[in-house]
Amino acid sequence: MGKILTTVGQSTFQTIKEDIIFGNLKPGLKLKLGVLKDQYSASVSILRETLNRLASEGFVEAKDQRGFYVATTSKEDFLEIANLRILLECYALELSIKNGDSEWEGNLVSAHHKLSLAEKEIQTNHYYEKNIWKKCDHDFHRALIHACDSKNLLSLHSTLYDKYFRYEMLLLTFQGKEDTEHQDMLNAALNRDVKLAQKLLKNHIQSAEEYLIQAY
């Protein structure tokens, strides 16, 4: 019974988190347990646990005596998230390139192939699921740094990535893009060129950052 509850709780957590990331639950929205109970077919106890978890990750704000709200956004918050992502991901990338073996290389090539297919698909298919593209993009960036051999780094990166991606979904009419940035990062990583890989990664994040700043 406990395992079933854990599975249901994790599913509810992931669904609500994605709805926040993709803007289905707008910044500042009050999250009423009665409404969420019907919307997500989950018990009040599971919803409370879910919202507290999301609050600990910064996607929900818990206000004393007032309940839970979707975390608000700001230009300052976005810039902080972007800068933290650059610092953390570039550091993890250096460790990963130095530690990565042939299995890491194979997983990285596979993740890039899936992302490349998703990028092409989203260009031509307006009904293509954004969350599928998001997963492929996340998996590629995670594959880049996976050999850093640090669970803490990978966990922090995943949270920062989701926060950064949330701003992309909120501020842009996203239609995807197909370019050489990911291919260039892949090549630099496989060639064990740490400085080039870090430079490309930083430019990749900052180029999107510039568009997002203009959208504010």
Burial class (CB in 10 A: 0-12, 13-18, 19+), 191: exposed
| Res. 146 pLDDT band, cuts 50 70 90 | very high
Residue 3 pLDDT: 47
Over 60: is that where the pLDDT of 215 sits? Answer: yes
Long-range contacts of 40-46 (CB under 8 A, 24+ apart): 40/12, 40/15, 40/16, 42/8, 42/9, 42/12, 46/5, 46/8, 46/9, 46/12
SS3 (DSSP) at 62: strand
Q: Which residues lie closer than 8 Å to 189 by C-beta, 6 or more apart?
A: 93, 96, 97, 100, 108, 144, 197
Considering the chain, what is the average pLDDT of its residues? 89
Residue 1 pLDDT: 39
Over 80: is that where the pLDDT of 98 sits? Answer: yes
Task: Give the residue from 62, 51, 66 showing the smallest Cα distance to 17.
Answer: 51
Pairing outcome for strands 60-63 and 67-70: antiparallel
CA distances from 172 to 103, 127, 141 (A): 36, 17, 21
- Of 6-15, 28-37, 142-151, the one with minimum mean pLDDT is 6-15
Residue 195 pLDDT: 98
Domains of the chain: 2-70 (1.10.10.10), 75-215 (1.20.120.530)
In this prediction the pTM is 0.87
In whole angstroms, give the CA distance from residue 90 to residue 98: 13
- Of 13-17, 150-154, 177-181, 206-210, the one with minimum mean pLDDT is 177-181
Q: Is residue 62 within 8 Å of 101, Cβ to Cβ?
A: no
Helices marked H in 125-150 — which ranges? 130-145
* Rg from Cα positions in the chain: 18
Query: Which run of H or of E encompasses 22?
Result: none
Residue 128 pLDDT: 65
Over 80: is that where the pLDDT of 110 sits? Answer: yes
Query: Which run of H or of E encompasses 115?
Result: helix 102-124
Residue 100 pLDDT: 97
In whole angstroms, give the CA distance from residue 5 to residue 43: 10
Q: What is the pLDDT of residues 31-86, one digit of tens each?
A: 999 999 999 999 999 999 999 999 999 999 998 778 999 999 999 999 999 999 99
Residue 142 pLDDT: 97
Over 60: is that where the pLDDT of 177 sits? Answer: no
Residue 5 pLDDT: 44
| Res. 196 pLDDT band, cuts 50 70 90 | very high
| Res. 122 pLDDT band, cuts 50 70 90 | confident
